[in-house]
Amino acid sequence: MFAWELEGLKRLKIEAIRWGSSYRVKVRGKTGKIVYVSNLSRPSDRKLVAKQYGISEDKLSTHLSSDYKADPKYRFYSGNHMETHIYENIQPGEFYDKLENVLNCQQKASKVNIAIGYILISKSDHTDESYFYPNTANASVFDKPVAINSKGDIRKKIISEIRAMELADRLKYTKSGYQRKAIVGFKICIYHRAMLSPLDILQFDDLEEYFKLAINVYTHDIESGKTERIRQLENNYDTINILSHEKHALYIKDIDMFLSKYQCPKLSICDSITEEERCFVDNQPRELLAKMFVYIKSIVAKVFKYNIVKYETLIRKIIEAHGLTGMDIPGAPLGTTYKLKDINQWIEEGKYSSFFDFCDQVSGTRKTDYGKLMQLLKQVPVLGFNSGKYDINLIKNDLFSVLGTDNTVSVIKNPNYMCIAANDMKMLDISNYVPAGTSYSKYLSTYFGGCQCDDKIRWVCGLGNGIFCYEYITDFSVLSRTQIPPQSVFDSKLTGTKISHEDYERVKFVWEHCNMKSIMDLLIWYNDLDVKPFVKAQRELFKRFDLDMFADGVSFPGLSEKVMYQTCFSKLTKPSRKPAASFNFPEH
């Protein structure tokens, strides 16, 4: 319910009942039952209110309009990027409810400031009173607009802060000649996007000098994907990185992640059965994903067959103990429970070629133990590192176009895709299963101790991160060049880093050792290093506790709870059943 609608209800003497952060009105619905409505912008709700309280719809619409100005205490003005709510001749105690209601009506993030209207009395002539209109220039509550990004910010950043301050101290006037009589008015200024002052990069010189910082500024072209550094200062101060976007400054928390945020034309996959790497390279992201999912489906079929062989004994015991009904088996008559002997007979008759063929065709219902187990065995986890926050967000348009949305379920914790589940696979991010802030190199070194080679140049162990010349690849055709890239192209102008002589010697060794024919081969080698050690590390992580971590949860907290219940009772001992010694109560 908007602020002007609430004021209109008060003028009509219609009670608005507070409900959470908004208000609602009691009416009698179409069926005759008492109901509550809160969206008075809807014509059907206004009709119910008008009928309930015996007023015409035209009169109700007039009083609930944002342009209604009959009440001298309240005025509302709305622009393209700013809205103003003015309350005059009210007490400060009344103001807080009105302020909270106005802010709760906002549907998007905004910035807020408040101006105070007040009356001054001349010290030399007490009959000389002057009213000062609420103006943010000399009577603002906050020095600058306060950002409101959620409903919780309203009380935390606005209401609580105002109650804690002395409003009279915010007034600017000549105290030698005047004294304050009363605060009688407020103006609430709400600034929407594009109303705020644009970024002035020239101001960074003063900021650097005052805060002793070095500020690097980057720009990013969304269409071309090109990132460029437009400002850099060479000094010994701590460095912060800023993205200048649409004349606003966005803080870059992780510069390495930011510089790698592009729809790269390559990816590598390694399955946990054969541990064979497969790299896909295509300059069209949608074609790249289509090839990837075709390959994943072939791996899913192998994994499912492996799972059936591994758990065949358990599956047979479940079928024999609980049986399957006609609801579980397609084409089977209803009302009959089928046991293991019936399935063996169907296999002998040729209805199913094998026990695996039966399990492949009969998924069961999700409420039965058999159905739950089949779903678990068929749904293969596809893991990435930091993929939920970065990779998937970059390719999500093409991803869901290729994957489809009919049988796809996503678990989103903005801006992180924690899980994307389909019938035969479940895409997870391993970063949700390790402590926050863990890098990929740290993740590998935790389980393997990093590179195992004595000679860091003759690198053959396959553990750790590779080296690649990202900024050298300005076009897809560069990957076809047959000469090893020169050392200078491995330097990064964006991060200001240079490749060491030892690292470049390692690149030269790998080029010859792996018999590389083009930069494409170097890219595939670099990409494959991300997946094979990843599978081995995942297995070590899997063995730590007796649980299926990719089936029992999608994040570290969910698994921690299960581990807690595994271990919290392990060292408990049963209390002794030995009778306690007898005693007598004292006489006094």
- Inter-residue contact 269 to 275 (CB < 8 Å): no
- Inter-residue contact 290 to 402 (CB < 8 Å): yes
Query: In 204-265, which residue ranges form alpha helices assigned H by DSSP?
Result: 204-211, 255-259
The mean pLDDT of 544-560, rounded to a whole number, is: 64
Does residue 405 have a pLDDT over 50?
yes
- Residue among 495, 525, 497 at smallest CA distance from 509: 525
Residue 552 lies in a domain: no
Sequence-ordered list of residues with C-beta below 8 angstroms from that of 453, at least 6 positions apart, any chain: 459, 460, 461
Q: What is the pLDDT of residues 528-550, one digit of tens each?
A: 777 777 776 666 666 665 666 66
Domains held by the chain: number: 6
pLDDT number for residue 132: 83
How far is it, in rounded angstroms, from Cα 524 to Cα 510? 12
The mean pLDDT of 98-123, rounded to a whole number, is: 85
Please tell me whether residues 452 and 353 are part of one structural domain.
Answer: no
Angle formed at CA 440 by CA 438 and CA 444, multiple of 5 degrees: 100
- Residue among 409, 412, 437, 411 at smallest CA distance from 424: 409
Q: What is the pLDDT of residues 27-39, one digit of tens each?
A: 888 777 888 888 8
pTM over 0.85: no
Please tell me whether residues 472 and 523 are part of one structural domain.
Answer: yes
Q: What is the pLDDT of residues 426-458, one digit of tens each?
A: 888 877 777 777 777 777 776 666 666 666 666
The mean pLDDT of 382-407, rounded to a whole number, is: 76
Asked which of 378, 404, 422 is the last residue of a domain, the reply is 378
Does residue 242 have a pLDDT over 70?
yes
How far is it, in rounded angstroms, from Cα 395 to Cα 12? 54
How far is it, in rounded angstroms, from Cα 159 to Cα 445? 49
Q: Does the N-terminal peptide bond of residue 415 adopt cis geometry, omega within 30 degrees of 0?
A: yes
Does residue 553 have a pLDDT over 80?
no
Residue 114 lies in a domain: yes
Does residue 110 have a pLDDT over 60?
yes
How far is it, in rounded angstroms, from Cα 487 to Cα 135? 61
- Residue among 501, 507, 512, 500 at smallest CA distance from 529: 507
Backbone angles phi, psi at 233, to 5 degrees: -125, 130
Asked which of 341, 360, 378 is the last residue of a domain, the reply is 378
What kind and span of H or E run contains 559?
A: helix 556-567
Of 68-77, 126-135, 223-232, 462-471, highest mean pLDDT: 126-135
Please tell me whether residues 410 and 498 are part of one structural domain.
Answer: no
Please tell me whether residues 83 and 20 are part of one structural domain.
Answer: no
Residue 222 DSSP SS3: coil
Average model confidence (pLDDT) across the chain: 78
Please tell me whether residues 216 and 132 are part of one structural domain.
Answer: no
Does residue 84 have a pLDDT over 50?
yes
Does residue 196 have a pLDDT over 60?
no
Please tell me whether residues 51 and 142 are part of one structural domain.
Answer: no
Can you name the residues that pair with 427 across neighbouring β-strands?
382, 420
Backbone angles phi, psi at 313, to 5 degrees: -60, -45
Query: In 362-429, which residue ranges form alpha helices assigned H by DSSP?
Result: 369-378, 392-403
Residue 144 lies in a domain: yes
Please tell me whether residues 186 and 79 are part of one structural domain.
Answer: yes
Please tell me whether residues 324 and 386 are part of one structural domain.
Answer: no
Sequence-ordered list of residues with C-beta below 8 angstroms from that of 301, at least 6 positions apart, any chain: none
Residue 565 lies in a domain: no
pLDDT number for residue 329: 83
The mean pLDDT of 198-212, rounded to a whole number, is: 73
Residue 574 lies in a domain: no
Residue 265 lies in a domain: no
pLDDT number for residue 269: 63
- Inter-residue contact 114 to 140 (CB < 8 Å): yes
- Residue among 288, 272, 227 at smallest CA distance from 474: 227
List the domain range (segments joined by +) for residue 470: 440-538
Please tell me whether residues 460 and 527 are part of one structural domain.
Answer: yes
pLDDT number for residue 134: 85
pLDDT band for 333, please (50, 70, 90 cuts): confident
Residue 548 lies in a domain: no
Residue 230 lies in a domain: yes
How far is it, in rounded angstroms, from Cα 141 to Cα 171? 9
Does residue 262 have a pLDDT over 50?
no
Which of 318-327, 401-410, 471-480 is the least confident region? Answer: 401-410
Please tell me whether residues 220 and 158 are part of one structural domain.
Answer: no
Please tell me whether residues 335 and 241 are part of one structural domain.
Answer: no
Please tell me whether residues 516 and 447 are part of one structural domain.
Answer: yes
Can you name the residues that pair with 359 across neighbouring β-strands?
none
- Inter-residue contact 280 to 294 (CB < 8 Å): no
